[in-house]
Amino acid sequence: MKNNANTNLILFHHHAPLPSKSASALAAANHHRLLFIFFLSFFTFLFSLTLFSSSLHSAATTSHSLSSSSPSSSSLSPPILAALLHYTSSTPPNTSMSLPELSAVSTVIHSKGSACNLLVFGLSHESLLWRSVNLKGRTVFVDENSYAVSKFEQNNPGVEAYDVVYSTKVSQAGKLLGYYKTRPECRPVQNLLFSDCKLGINDLPNFVYEIEWDVILIDGPRGYAGDSPGRMAPIFTSAVLAKSKDSGKKKKKKTTDVFVHEFGRKLERVYSEEFLCEENLIEVVGELGHFVVAAEKGEKQGNGFCRNSTKLSEPFTPDSGGDAEVGVDDD
């Protein structure tokens, strides 16, 4: 018994320093435990924040209004980014439109809401702007240059652009103006896909003739020389597309906003007044004419495009200015 007690006493004194070592190990263990809890909490917070941000981003992308988008969106949409890069890299800017002209078109597009159908004749320095302004809608470009169309599509994935071969020439503008008045195939309301009218564009994809366009911008093709295609066909085609909408039974008729750039040139002005009609001209901003054309499909239609076109029957003669080559080709 005594030996056992002494043994216990010796063991007790031998291990007297151990309590301090155990405390140190315990403190280290507690430190590791605290670190683990910290990192666990930190990554849990990050995970929760990621889920919250994803929810905000999803809500923003499903919204029908740009104003409801979350300010914490991680990046710009590709079309917006492409437009910003395009315009910031242009030194100096070679836009063909003034700020008031750009604002006039942009304001109307924006007023149509997120489902605007925009048809643009002519690829230009502003093309990316129109696509960006109408980001939530559908924008289709038509141009005479097949290479430019191909390059534009290549540089801007997802864009809709089509090339068209124009059979008209500026030098034929006078004869074509008299021609359409004697041809029943050049009537205001029709499906241009099956039209034989020389002023009508009938070789675009079928959907172009089926969509009810809200806004049409005519900024092409070339019209500065006698052998240029001129904008006679786009102006005529735009008028037919606008008038061939189903007017429906509502009190308020469906309308199409049609913009004609370089409206100050005689050819553009005469053809616009003949087919888009002077009574539909609501404003002129710089070189931009703005028409609002009402649908007539399903209604009693007259023979002409306008209520009063007697003023527009005057002979088409060339200007003495920069467009001196615009005139009647008698060949």
Confidence of residue 152 (pLDDT cuts 50, 70, 90): very high
Residue 96 clears pLDDT 90, i.e. is over it: no
pLDDT for 248: 61
Q: Which CATH number fits domain 78-313: 2.40.50, 3.40.50, 2.30.30, 3.40.30?
A: 3.40.50
Strands of the sheet containing 255-261, edge to edge, are: 160-163, 138-143, 117-121, 215-218, 255-261, 288-294, 281-285
pLDDT digits (tens, 9 = 90+) for 189-233: 999 999 999 999 999 999 999 999 999 999 999 998 899 999 999
> What is the rounded distance in angstroms from the CA atom of residue 300 to the CA atom of residue 116?
28
pLDDT for 114: 87
pLDDT digits (tens, 9 = 90+) for 229-251: 999 999 999 999 999 987 666 66
pLDDT digits (tens, 9 = 90+) for 21-38: 455 555 555 555 544 454
User: 87: which residues sit within 8 A by CB, 6+ positions away?
Assistant: 93, 128, 129
pTM equals: 0.71
Domain ranges of the chain: 16-59, 78-313
pLDDT digits (tens, 9 = 90+) for 98-129: 889 998 999 999 999 889 999 999 999 899 99
pLDDT for 78: 76
Confidence of residue 9 (pLDDT cuts 50, 70, 90): very low
What is the arithmetic mean of pLDDT over 306-317? 57
